Structure 1
């Protein structure tokens, strides 16, 4: 089988409306996802995926509230960062709240990589270089989020869950731990020194934090 042809068939650059979470509700769709993960997609799978595609003329404008709140999936960290920054900036200006800058931390098999030197080095790299290693995440109160990790499955905070960011839970840094963010941020990242990112009437103070409080929808 021509794997490249098989991959191209499912590379659909279209707008898709997810009516409900198919992971457990729809057995056919769940089986389809299993075949796609193994690279065994069928013509029937392709036809089923087409039923989830919004056809031409069905959407008058993407500027409505429903589409503005829809998750956006993109390829590449650089584009992801630009969209996150734009969303955070727009939300900040809308509600007159400051942007919170969160340095994320990478893990290996759920274990934190405890290396401040590595974190500083990776944060100084362009967004298209570090892959899934630590980066900077801007957040604003009331901003919609999509979880990509099982934070607390018993509370419904699992991979793929959507929710709303409300507040941060701060923890005190350990002795000798650096509480500052690397000043050598790439121009594509949200820079705390760029005043235009924040409402002019607010004063922003960056604090060390390691936990995020999220309300699951």
Structure 2
């Protein structure tokens, strides 16, 4: 979410680019601000930087006052009331109360029923979760940690291939820059950069660098991370499953080995989405 100072700076820079007077917000262009102000505060600044937060005449900066004034110029408000993702009416009711900070006791009761307790060997018959059976053995993990996400995915695909007998394809990454392959000098610079980072930090795999290899298998769960085609529900967060992997015609014969290291990228990967308008 935008903060007041950032909004003022953005307006100033656009006004300069348009060659308009700084007295005219955003250089006089039309402006549409989208978002849910109840969801997240501005990043890396104080809570008072939120656009809806009243200005403090003594403590706020000039830019903060300007940003607040610009925000108050937005007098036409459109509320989107139709929920397009959540289909469970009980969960939707909880989310709406949570958004307004008005959670009731019955909502807390619902949340407590979702607490997961691992099954103990000393009492396997207790009413606890058995992570070896449905639905827990296919449960999704939501985590803000990049390293945890990577380790979880690696373990999940190896476990899936082991239990189903499907082949695991290991694809080498092909780095590109602005849609083209890297030149020899660029490859050399990248290799030196990665080598220095590896020496500097042994746990390089835990960083946010893109992986040098990608593991794929038929039956693997995947998720869309960009809005590709909103009309077809190919949007950020859409989930699906790999149903086919067509290898490059020049790929050497892979045989029946459980783990196959490909020399070339697959020709294409066919994914069946869980929900789509296609």
Q: TM-score normalized by structure 1?
A: 0.53
* Cα distance in 2 for residues equivalent to 1:46 and 1:170: 55
Q: Deviations over 1:116-167 (max 9, x none)?
A: 448765698623333xx53243221112223322344444332222221123
Q: 1:163 to 1:62 in 2, by over 3 A?
A: same
Q: Residue 146 of structure 1 contacts residue 160 of structure 1 at CA under 8 Å; is this kept in 2?
A: yes
> Where does 1:53-132 land on structure 2 (aligned, <5 Å)?
53=112, 54-55=114-115, 59-102=128-171, 114=180, 116=182, 117=187, 126-130=204-208
* Cα distance in 1 for residues equivalent to 2:267 and 2:101: 44
Q: 1:22 to 1:68 in 2, by over 3 A?
A: farther
Kindly state the Cα deviation for residue 91 of structure 1 after the two structures are TM-superposed: 1.7
Kindly state the Cα deviation for residue 170 of structure 1 after the two structures are TM-superposed: 6.2
Higher relative helix content: 2
* Structure with greater contact order relative to length (CA < 8 Å, sep ≥ 6): 1
Q: TM-score normalized by structure 2?
A: 0.43
Is the radius of gyration larger for structure 1 or structure 2?
2
* Counterpart in the other structure of 1:23: 85
Q: Is there any run of 5+ residues in structure 2 with no aligned partner, and where?
A: 1-40, 42-82, 118-125, 199-203, 250-255
Q: Deviations over 1:69-92 (max 9, x none)?
A: 121112322221211111111122
Q: Residue 168 of structure 2 contacts residue 258 of structure 2 at CA under 8 Å; is this kept in 1?
A: no
Q: 1:202 to 1:68 in 2, by over 3 A?
A: closer
Q: Is there any run of 5+ residues in structure 1 with no aligned partner, and where?
A: 4-20, 36-40, 173-198
- For the aligned residue pairs, the C-alpha RMSD in angstroms reads 4.7
Q: Residue 76 of structure 1 contacts residue 128 of structure 1 at CA under 8 Å; is this kept in 2?
A: no
SS at match of 1:127: helix
* Cα distance in 2 for residues equivalent to 1:45 and 1:114: 55
Q: Residue 23 of structure 1 contacts residue 29 of structure 1 at CA under 8 Å; is this kept in 2?
A: no
Q: Do structure 1's residue 51 and structure 2's residue 114 form an aligned pair?
A: no
Q: Residue 171 of structure 2 contacts residue 262 of structure 2 at CA under 8 Å; is this kept in 1?
A: no
Q: Residue 166 of structure 2 contacts residue 258 of structure 2 at CA under 8 Å; is this kept in 1?
A: no
